[in-house]
A and B are shown apart, each in its own frame.
Chain A
Amino acid sequence: MSTSIVLQAKGINKFFSDPVPQQVLKDIHFTITSGEFVSVVGKSGCGKSTLLYILSTMDTDYTGELFLDGEKMSNQSESTLAAIRNKKIGFVFQFHYLLNEFTVLENVSLPAYKLNALPKEAIHDKAIQLLKKLGIEHLALKRANLLSGGEKQRVAIARAMINDPIIIMGDEPTGNLDKKNTAIVFDIFKELTMEFQQTLLIVTHDDAFARNTSRTIVMDDGKIVESGL
């Protein structure tokens, strides 16, 4: 698999005006190529989450340019960005954020239903495969709110993967987990990069976690101080 640019940020600035005008991101430049396992670290409040929300296209209130898969994201319509998120980005949050009204299988399948590229049976087969790989296929028909934290996070990873996104982003996905579960989730990420050359961008506070990724971006006070290259 040849390496290509998956994500590119050009001069991204972000301001908050509430309660006082404050620049949270200052002239962010960097690129991520396919197959990279990138971690982002930095002091609390330095703007990691803010950056990630911009990169994930959920936050559109910034200046500068963002390219995903060679396509410019800035100034796209809300519904276009939603479709792009659906197809190309997988997201894993610190708090697992599953839909409690649905079963595990349905939670994993939902983005694929939305994408509507496969029939329902094929989506279910694929979801079951993913759950199997994450070691939780026996939970497929359980309601999401009955799972443990570690299990929930694995379901969230399966959901992030269901549409074969070009990049999976995570905001402290292990922040809420104990050592053992952190290890499990890390191993899964590692395996994804090794086996499928899945591109990953993970914000973390866990130094051990960051040390084991292929590249670490260090931020301080809204700037990238070390690009890890």
Chain B
Amino acid sequence: MSSFRLLFEVALALMQARRKQTIVAGVGVLFSIAMFITLLGFMNGLNMLLDGLILNRTPHVRLYNEVKARPKQVSEEYFNDTSKKYFVSSVRPFKVRKDIYNSASILKSLQQDIRVAGIAPRVSVQVFFTIGSIDLAAVVNGIDVPAEIKLFNFKDYVPEGNPIDAMNIPNSIILGKGIAEKLMVQLGDMVPVTTSAGERYTLKVVGIFQSGIADYDKVTCFASLATTQKLLIQNSNYISDIQIKLKDLTTAPLLAQEFAKKYQVDAEDIQTANAQFETGSDVRSIISYAVGITLLVVAGFGIYNILNMMIYEKMDTIAILKATGFSGKDVQSIFIYIALTIGIIGGVCGVLVGLLLSYGIDQIPFITPALPTVKTFPVDYNPKYYVTATVFAIVTTYLAGYFPAKKASVVDPVVIIRGK
């Protein structure tokens, strides 16, 4: 019989003699692992959902022209004398084009850039919808419909109607849900639109847009690029925004700078635009890890306790084993095996229970108008949590077993035998 097998069998016999406590300690590990997995899976499911809401809709880099204050005082430019200070109050921003200069060649250049996963140009226009004597202000975003569907899951936010129709049917519009409700229109209806320049058009409703953010849905509509350019009375090169999705999200800040310089436009990256979301996710992750690890440490103390108790009760056994030729190291191994057996069995069962609990949460209906694509609570089944939990369970139980085992290994059989 191999040494491992012999020591393991002795360990099993000792556990059997203290079956109840062993089971309690194992259940402690099971519970903490299961909770760890469920908590992290659920928390991260939520994180991914919330991040996804932002990430799916937000371009990694956005190119646009910003209306800014003049970088230099007019007077400074005029007098060109740095030894004196000249002030002119109430300086207005200088006139900038709202559209991106030379957009066609920028689009072409971006399309050839291998770091870019896709681009979607936009143009927006202020409009009024007139119902009776009331004017409702709104923004119509002109979009490249297939690109938006592909890059930003636009289809998910159009619960009624087919967004492709906006491209295929001339003079059509997708209304925000809030606007559609106020106007009391449905798919197929015609709505009158007045642009800020005073032009009047009639557009056909081909879809209802719902982002989940009610205030946004009250003021936002979508139309094809061509329709929007027509509202603005501009040609097909008139683009005010270029949204870029990158292959690697993390390169966004660097590439934003590069594009801004190269194309002489303003550029904003997703990290800058959504810094607060990252922080929120991180905090939630840290909290769940902290709770999970606390649970495991408590389970570790449970194992520590039962082993200490077992060693105290089994002094005779330890003395006999040593008297008959088991070394201190053998005795230490026996108690380590006890700890690891509890840890591994408790851990494996905990992983299974955690998976079941996660699956259970995944079945609970979670329907909210804010999240049209979500039907049940989100759960992340990332194997990372399962592996982390298992590794942590084994490490904790090993440590919990190590110190009592060390104590058992130095038990002096003479003291025990004499003590009788």
Chain A residues in contact with chain B, CB under 8 A?
49, 53, 56, 58-59, 78-79, 82-87, 91, 93-95, 97-102, 110-111, 113-116, 120, 159, 171
Contacts and interface: CB of A to CB of B under 8 A. Distances in A.
Given A98-B320, A116-B2, 18 more contacts: A58-B322, A58-B323, A58-B417, A83-B327, A85-B323, A93-B417, A97-B316, A97-B320, A97-B323, A99-B13, A99-B321, A100-B17, A101-B16, A101-B317, A113-B6, A114-B324, A114-B326, A116-B6
Contacts of A99: 13, 317, 320-321
Contact of B324 (A102, A116, A159): A159
B327 A56 contact: no
B3 A79 contact: no
A160 to B, nearest CB: 8
B97 interface: no
B1 A85 contact: no
A95 B417 CA distance: 8
Given A58-B413, A101-B13, A102-B13, A113 B327 contact: no
Interface residues of B, number: 27
A100 B3 CA distance: 21
Nearest to B413: A58
A101 B325 contact: no
B131 interface: no
Contacts of B327: 78-79, 82-83
Contacts of B14: 101
A78 B409 CA distance: 11
Contacts of A84: 325
Interface of B: 1-3, 6, 13-14, 16-17, 316-317, 319-330, 413-414, 417-418, 420
Given A97-B316, A101-B13, A86 B420 contact: no
Main SS at interface, chain B:
helix
Contacts of A101: 13-14, 16-17, 317
Contacts of A115: 325
A94 B13 CA distance: 25
A159 B3 CA distance: 19
Given A93-B417, A97-B316, A56 B326 contact: no
Given A101-B17, A114-B6, A116-B1, A82 B325 contact: yes
Contacts of A86: 324-326
B378 to A, nearest CB: 49
B413 A114 contact: no
Nearest to A85: B325
B323 A91 contact: yes
A110 B414 contact: no
A59 B417 CA distance: 12
A82 B326 contact: yes
Contacts of B330: 82, 114
A110 B323 CA distance: 12
A114 B2 CA distance: 8
Nearest to A77: B327
A120 B322 CA distance: 21
Report the 8 A-B pairs with minimum CB-CB distance, sorted nearest first: A86-B325, A82-B327, A79-B327, A101-B13, A111-B324, A101-B17, A85-B325, A113-B6
Nearest to A95: B420
A49 B324 contact: no
A59 B325 contact: no
Nearest to B1: A113
B328 A110 contact: no
A10 B418 CA distance: 24
A91 B324 contact: yes
A99 B334 CA distance: 15
Name the residue among B322, B323, B326 with the largest chain A CB count within 10 angstroms: B323
A87 B325 CA distance: 8
A83 B413 CA distance: 15
12 contacts: A58-B414, A79-B328, A83-B327, A86-B324, A87-B325, A97-B316, A99-B320, A101-B14, A101-B16, A101-B317, A114-B3, A115-B325
A115 B316 CA distance: 21
A166 B20 CA distance: 42
Contacts of B323: 56, 58, 85, 91, 93, 97
A102 B3 CA distance: 18
A137 to B, nearest CB: 21
A159 to B, nearest CB: 7
Contact of A82 (B17, B317, B322): B322
B276 to A, nearest CB: 60
A79 B329 CA distance: 8
Nearest to A93: B417
A95 B416 CA distance: 11
Contacts of A97: 316, 319-320, 323, 417
A87 B6 CA distance: 16
A99 B418 CA distance: 17
A15 B74 CA distance: 101
B328 to A, nearest CB: 6
B12 to A, nearest CB: 9
Given A58-B413, A113-B6, A116-B3, A83 B325 contact: yes
Contacts of B319: 97
Nearest to B9: A113
Contacts of B329: 79
Contacts of B326: 82, 86, 114
A99 B330 CA distance: 16
Contacts of A53: 414, 417-418
Nearest to A159: B324
A165 to B, nearest CB: 10
A168 to B, nearest CB: 12
Name the residue among A58, A93, A100, A114 with the largest chain B CB count within 10 angstroms: A114
A114 B326 CA distance: 7
A101 B3 CA distance: 19
A107 B98 CA distance: 92
